[in-house]
A and B are shown apart, each in its own frame.
Chain A
Amino acid sequence: MLIRAGDAGVLLAGTGLVIALTVFAWGGDRGDTAVIRAAGRVVETVSLTHARTFSIGGPLGATQIEVEPGRARVARDPSPRQLCVRQGWLTQSGQAALCLPNQVSLEIRGRHFAYDTLGY
C-alpha cells in the first residue's frame, strides 16, 4: 500500500493548511500604508514595512501610534474612553481608528480603497 489511511489524513490536513494560508495571505485586502491625521490634516503617511512609533500632538496631549510590519495601532491616547486604543491592531485596507477628543486618526490603506472618502 503506497498510501495508508493516516497518509490520506495527513494529505487532507496539508491541503487544509495550504487553503487556510491562501485565505490568510491573499484573502481580504491587507493594507500596506498607514495615514495619520491630526485635526483633519494628514501629518504622516507611512508604509507598513518596518516598526516605527509616532507621537502626534492634539488638544488633550500626545497620541502614540505604533506601526509594525503589516499592521498599525493607537498605542496610547489621552482621550477618556480609549475607544481607538481598544480597537487594537488594524490590518485591512479601509480600517480606521479615531481618537475624537484628541482629533487624531489612523487609517489603513491598501491597493484598493474600500471607500471613496471617509468623513468624521
Chain B
Amino acid sequence: MTHSAIELPVTPDDRRIARLAALAIGLTLAEAALPSPLPGVKPGLANIVVLMVLLQYGWRAAAWVSGLRVLAGGLLLGSLFAPGFWLSVAGAGVSLSVLALARRLPSRYFGPVSLSVLAAFGHIGGQLALAGAWLLPGAAIIKLLPVFAAAALVFGTVNGVIVARLLAAPTSDRRQSLPCTLP
C-alpha cells in the first residue's frame, strides 16, 4: 500500500488573504439583504475591503480578495454561475484593471477617494457592458445609464472617504489578529 500525502503549505499571506476575503464576503452578504430599487445599485461595501487591501498589501492581494469574494459570495447567495454571478465577475474584473492603472497615479494628489470612485465606475461599466452585450441587447439599458453612473459616483465617494478615514486611524486598530488567550 502506498501512502502519499499532499502537503499544501500555508503562508501567513494566505491566512491574511483568507481573513480579509472573509470580511469582504460578510459585507457582500449583509448588503444582499438591503432592498434595492434597481438590481445593480448597491453600496458595494466589500470594495472598502478590496481598496484597503490594495493600499496596504498591493494589487495581487486585492485581486485575490476580490476574486474570492465574488466566488464565495455566489456560492453563499446561491447565484453561482447564474447571470448575476457573471455580472459580478465582469464588474470586479474591470474594476481591478482600473485599479491596476489608477494606483500608479501620484498619491500626493490622488487618494483613496479617487481610487474608489474610479473603481466604482469600472464596476458598473463592466457590468453594464456585459449586460448590454449579453442579457439586454437593446436600447433599454441606455435609459438607465445615468442612474447607474450617479449611484457609482455617490457610493464610490462614500466608500473612498471611509477608506481614507480607516487608513488615517491609529495603527493599533489595524493589528493582526492574535491567538485567543484563555483567562
The 8 A CB mask of A47-60 against B (1 = contact, 0 = none) is: 01110000000000
In the complex, B111 has a CB within 8 A of chain A: yes
- Whether A2 and B146, one on each chain, are in contact in the complex, defined by CB atoms closer than 8 angstroms, is no
Which of B105, B153, B161, B168 counts the most chain A CB atoms within 10 A? Answer: B153
- Chain A residues positioned under 8 Å from B117 (CB to CB): 7, 10-11, 14
Q: Which residues of B approach A to under 8 Å, CB–CB?
A: 105-106, 108-111, 113-114, 117-118, 121, 137-140, 142-146, 149-150, 152-153, 156-157, 160-161, 164-165, 168
- Whether B153 and A2, one on each chain, are in contact in the complex, defined by CB atoms closer than 8 angstroms, is no
- Whether B142 and A25, one on each chain, are in contact in the complex, defined by CB atoms closer than 8 angstroms, is yes
- Whether B114 and A25, one on each chain, are in contact in the complex, defined by CB atoms closer than 8 angstroms, is no
A interface secondary structure, majority: helix
Q: What is the size category of the interface that chain A forms with chain B?
A: 20 to 34
* Inter-chain contact total with CB atoms closer than 8 Å: 82
User: Which A51-88 residues sit within 8 Å CB-CB of chain B?
Assistant: 69-70
Stretch at the interface among A15-23, A37-45, A100-108, A112-120: A15-23
B interface secondary structure, majority: helix
B153: contacting residue among A3, A15, A50, CB under 8 A: A15
- Chain B residues positioned under 8 Å from A3 (CB to CB): 111, 113, 161, 164
Question: Which residue of chain A is the closest to B152 with respect to CB atoms?
Answer: A14
5 smallest beta-carbon distances between A and B, as pairs = A6-B109, A70-B139, A6-B110, A22-B146, A7-B113
- Whether A7 and B110, one on each chain, are in contact in the complex, defined by CB atoms closer than 8 angstroms, is yes
A-B contact pairs, 10 of them (CB 8 A): A1-B111, A2-B113, A6-B110, A7-B117, A10-B113, A11-B153, A14-B153, A26-B143, A30-B139, A50-B138
For residue B21, give the distance in angstroms from its CB to the closest CB of chain A. 27
The docked-state distance in angstroms from the alpha carbon of A14 to that of B117 is 8
